[in-house]
């Protein structure tokens, strides 16, 4: 365990005390033993307290935390066999999206997941989790395959944004995203999208048109990265925290607004403190929703999915402007 | 760089059509931002707001574009009364979004960044949604998404082809998640247009970027763009910032995306109407013929 985020400073101090006491092992005196228990209780209490009222910007930090479980971790912990398939059959293989069939509780599911990297080399390899058009085309290819074989699709979302590079533009980033949105609307199998970390702008949305949108408790889903939004609205990326607050991007806020279907609880102190518990929670939620969605006839499923998106939006009425 | 795919218009009507129904707002002189030529306001308007020297296409308002394309007097506006609200109580730089909306509405002839309705073009019916960059950068929030979807539904209901002219900086930050979801919503609606087998012509004007490009704008059966229009997903400054490069001249423009196979043609403004007429004839003839043969049976 580690508490190294800025707002976790009080927790880090308690943890340091605990570690110092634990080091003594058998030589722990009776009063020290009591201190240790007390410190452990305090750590739990303070963690609960801090995590129950994270600000939007603190949630962004947790969602982006380097040790947070990534898609590959969830696949390893939830599935019996994941066979990764590569390539868009047109140009290349995008490493920021991993996809393929896997066994989830005895049933084949097509997973399409965004994957970040942890250390410098892996982050470079995964392009910081930002996909090029090939990634979305690979996603489309696998979803079409899912439809052909009648497998449900589960997408795990974890990306800051689609890659904003010139080559991405040349190879049709916008079209690749639009095609994925278009395909998913009419895909004749159940789709569940889960934001496990960062759901960033069009790049995250591209694989999350679904019958059911889940979010991990400390994940975020936003129209643009807070830094980019701050740049647009404040003309200064230093206002990222304000932008994060104003845009209502945390899982809790989006659930409260009724914009997502379910909040998947994370273990105490965030998913990175207990990978196994985080994966178990996600698996339970996925299995529950898959079972429900599979009960619906396909046409009803598609109609519900269509209406879900058709009805998103808030507006009012006024007189037409005079011309 | 790239030749225009459509030959010059034979219908001279298009080059003399006034952008304003006779009454010119009377700009005395205009400076071309590209070649810095001083242009006489009246000539500039007669030239459809295109610089005669360097071909720079100035931005048009939604109503100017409708005047440019539609048969005179044929435009019927729909859903002009939908307005944005402030679902997130959004405040930036101590300005509430709700107040910004009030100001934008007061300072323009628009209620939102998209004007929808139907027109005839050479007596052929056409449903349309025309975006207007003047209203908060043509950004797409709930209302733009809703109006685009209603234009699609109008096309289906009245069995008309659909034209969407895009001009947008992308999703509207002030509506957060709601804005993002409009990408999915508009793309979803187009699947219904596809089922109805109605053609969708997407026209990209300066600028078409961000969430609008990554949804309906790039899903046209035919995608046209005006010369020099910025067409991209990530804007030039974002690309330069992320890649630490200086973009070459002409990158992420209409001609650039044409060269990379993303659109069908770059069409000069004077030829837009005639191009649309040709396309509408080509794409709707078979449909109307099959209707006739169906009726005869």
Which residues on chain B are in Cβ contact (under 8 Å) with A202? Answer: 171, 180, 183, 210-211, 214-215, 233
Chain B residue whose CA is closest to A172 = B262
pLDDT of residue A318: 87
What b/e sequence results for A15-50 when a residue is b if at least 16 CB atoms lie within 10 Å of its CB, and e otherwise? bebbeebeeeeeeeeeeeeeebeebbeebeebbeeb
pLDDT of residue B243: 83
pLDDT of residue B11: 40
Chain B residue whose CA is closest to A203 = B214
Test A320 with B242 for CB contact under 8 angstroms: no
pLDDT digits (tens, 9 = 90+) for B246-279: 998 889 999 999 999 999 999 999 999 999 999 9
Joined tokens for residue B204: 């990209």
| Angle, helix A240-247 to helix B176-195, in steps of 10 degrees | 60
Nearest Cα neighbor of B161 from B129, B206, B205 is B129
Joined tokens for residue B133: 């960059």
Report the greatest alpha carbon distance in chain A: 86
CB proximity A242 to B under 8 Å: yes
pLDDT digits (tens, 9 = 90+) for A52-72: 999 999 999 999 999 999 999
pLDDT digits (tens, 9 = 90+) for A165-191: 999 999 999 999 999 999 999 999 999
pLDDT for B1 beyond 50 = no
HSE toward the beta carbon, residue A243, CA cutoff 13 A: 24
pLDDT band at A319; cut points 50, 70, 90:
confident
pLDDT of residue A200: 86
pLDDT of residue A305: 98
pLDDT of residue B8: 39
- Report the first-to-last Cα separation within chain A, whole angstroms: 64
Long-range contacts of A31-40 (CB under 8 A, 24+ apart): A39/A14
pLDDT band at B25; cut points 50, 70, 90:
low
Nearest Cα neighbor of B252 from B234, B268, B270 is B234
Joined tokens for residue B296: 């005869």
> Rg (Cα) of chain B, in Å, rounded?
19
Q: What is the mean pLDDT of chain B?
A: 89
Helix (H, G, I), strand (E, B) or coil at B115: strand
Chain B residue whose CA is closest to A226 = B173
């Amino acid at each position: 365990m580690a508490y190294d985020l800025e707002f976790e400073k009080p927790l880090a101090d308690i943890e340091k005390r605990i570690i110092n006491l634990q080091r003594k092992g058998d030589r722990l005196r009776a009063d020290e033993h009591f201190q240790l228990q007390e410190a452990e209780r305090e750590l739990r209490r303070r963690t609960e307290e801090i995590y129950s009222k994270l600000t939007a910007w603190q949630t962004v930090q947790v969602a982006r935390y380097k040790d947070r479980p990534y898609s590959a971790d969830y696949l390893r912990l939830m599935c019996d066999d994941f066979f990764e398939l590569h390539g868009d059959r047109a140009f290349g293989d995008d490493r920021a999206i991993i996809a393929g069939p896997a066994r989830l509780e005895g049933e084949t599911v097509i997973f399409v997941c965004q994957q970040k990297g942890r250390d410098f080399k892996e982050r470079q390899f995964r392009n910081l989790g930002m996909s090029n058009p090939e990634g979305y085309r690979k996603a489309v290819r696998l979803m079409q395959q899912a439809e052909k074989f009648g497998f449900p699709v589960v997408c795990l979302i974890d990306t800051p944004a689609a890659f904003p590079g010139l080559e991405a533009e040349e190879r049709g980033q916008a079209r690749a995203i639009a095609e994925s949105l278009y395909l998913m609307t009419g895909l004749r199998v159940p789709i569940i999208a889960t934001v496990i970390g960062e759901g960033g702008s069009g790049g995250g949305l591209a694989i999350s048109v679904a019958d059911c949108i889940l979010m991990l408790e400390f994940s975020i889903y936003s129209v643009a990265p807070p830094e980019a939004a701050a740049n647009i609205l404040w003309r200064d990326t230093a206002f990222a925290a304000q932008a994060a607050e104003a845009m209502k991007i945390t899982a809790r806020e989006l659930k409260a607004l009724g914009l997502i279907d379910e909040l998947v609880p994370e273990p105490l102190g965030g998913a990175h403190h207990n990978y196994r518990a985080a994966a178990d929670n996600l698996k339970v939620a996925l299995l529950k929703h898959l079972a429900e969605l599979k009960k619906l006839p396909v046409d009803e499923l598609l109609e519900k999915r269509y209406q879900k998106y058709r009805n998103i939006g808030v507006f009012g009425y006024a007189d037409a402007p005079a011309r | 760089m790239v030749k225009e795919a459509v030959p010059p218009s034979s219908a001279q009507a298009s080059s003399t059509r006034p952008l304003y129904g006779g009454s010119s707002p009377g700009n005395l002189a205009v400076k071309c931002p590209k070649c810095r030529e001083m242009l006489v306001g009246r000539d500039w308007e007669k030239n459809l707001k295109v610089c005669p020297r360097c071909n720079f296409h100035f931005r048009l308002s939604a109503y100017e574009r409708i005047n440019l394309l539609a048969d005179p007097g044929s435009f019927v506006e729909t859903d002009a009364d939908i307005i944005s609200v402030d679902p997130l109580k959004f405040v930036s730089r101590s300005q509430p979004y709700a107040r910004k909306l009030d100001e934008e509405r007061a300072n323009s002839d628009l209620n939102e960044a998209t004007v929808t309705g139907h027109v005839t073009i050479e007596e052929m019916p056409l449903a349309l949604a025309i975006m207007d960059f003047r209203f908060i950068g043509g950004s797409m929030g709930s209302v733009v998404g809703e109006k685009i979807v209603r234009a699609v539904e109008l096309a289906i209901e009245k069995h008309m082809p659909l034209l969407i002219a895009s001009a947008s900086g992308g999703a509207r930050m002030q509506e957060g998640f709601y804005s993002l979801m409009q990408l999915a919503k508009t793309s979803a609606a187009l699947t219904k247009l596809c089922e109805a087998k109605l053609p969708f012509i997407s026209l990209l004007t300066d600028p078409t970027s961000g969430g609008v490009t990554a949804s309906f704008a790039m899903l046209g059966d035919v995608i046209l763009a005006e010369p020099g229009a910025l067409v991209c997903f990530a804007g030039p400054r974002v690309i330069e910032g992320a890649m630490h490069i200086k973009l070459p001249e002409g990158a992420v423009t209409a001609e650039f995306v044409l060269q990379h196979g993303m659109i069908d043609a770059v069409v000069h403004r004077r030829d837009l109407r005639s191009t649309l007429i040709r396309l509408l004839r080509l794409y709707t003839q078979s449909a109307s013929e099959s209707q006739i043969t169906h009726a005869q049976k």
